[in-house]
Structure 1
């Protein structure tokens, strides 16, 4: 049995040959990440069980499991997005969009064997959407709007009353550095380069902390029944 078969108990049906090649490369990249961690040892049944456990815990809102999933998939997803976007900054932004969608809908995943294919489809659809927006010069959505689904315009429309209180609570509950990055980027509109200079950190650190902050805010709002 091949490593890819162990990774996916249920083969994903992809008709387009180019897309199938992308998918196979995506799977191999996931396996490469795991091989690096195990100093070259091949993917086995125990690793398949670990992925199943991470997906199960991720469905339950376990942030540690979600971060492990992120670490397992971020390099393959980024590589896929970069192939479409042909721009590192755009691919990094899309990477966060993809994982916000993944963890926002992970409860829909019933079979962990389909999880890599599901993530792949989200990444491809996100990349296609980016390319369509780029062609039509459409404006980029405000990230907080994607997160809460309640904010229409950062400069003119207030947060709806039924979410304003829980959202403020969620932001206050964040660790200080996560809260700072979240407020600077998603509320005040600063770019990551500006945040990095302000807080004295790397641009990549700012992006990583924003991702974690968004996940925690979303989980807080969900627990409060606000989203």
Structure 2
């Protein structure tokens, strides 16, 4: 019995220490954020130094390309700096920062995906000029899928894009977003169900994201 009592006291001390450290980190972050918003650009260096390595690791998992990851991290920090005034300080700053960065990556992936699709369509149209209706249908289908994805809540939209645009496995999506694996699966299922129901209401046939899990 004494063993369990001492173990409980030990873990309670550890828990208190962890909470205290988190509070100190939050106070430091709040100070540097306030400094940046007051016009002290050098203060932003403290935020960059704290998050650049974990953010790079996150984006590298998404891109699988070190150079692309470096470029996206730099772009993300510029976007975070420009949007810092929108952070309401109600939630964790780290969650807000990662959300801005991941959203930026998703925007870039969408642009790149659209460019690739357009190149494929152009190539197909050059070969298949006898059937222009096929090209038009393909363009329209791409637009419909992008429109469907844009109607989803932010967290579901990110998961859909990570899964299908980046072809990340569930485990890596969980690591990238910081969500439990079960939550990733549930949100992905929910997002696909919403998209399927939307298409059915519009009298269409849903099969774009049915395959691949």
Would you call these one fold, judging by a TM-score over 0.5?
A: no
TM-score of Structure 1 vs Structure 2, range by shorter chain: 0.3 to 0.5
- Relative contact order, CA 8 A, sep 6+: which one is greater? 1
Q: What is the TM-score with the length of structure 2 in the denominator?
A: 0.43
| Higher share of residues assigned helix | 2
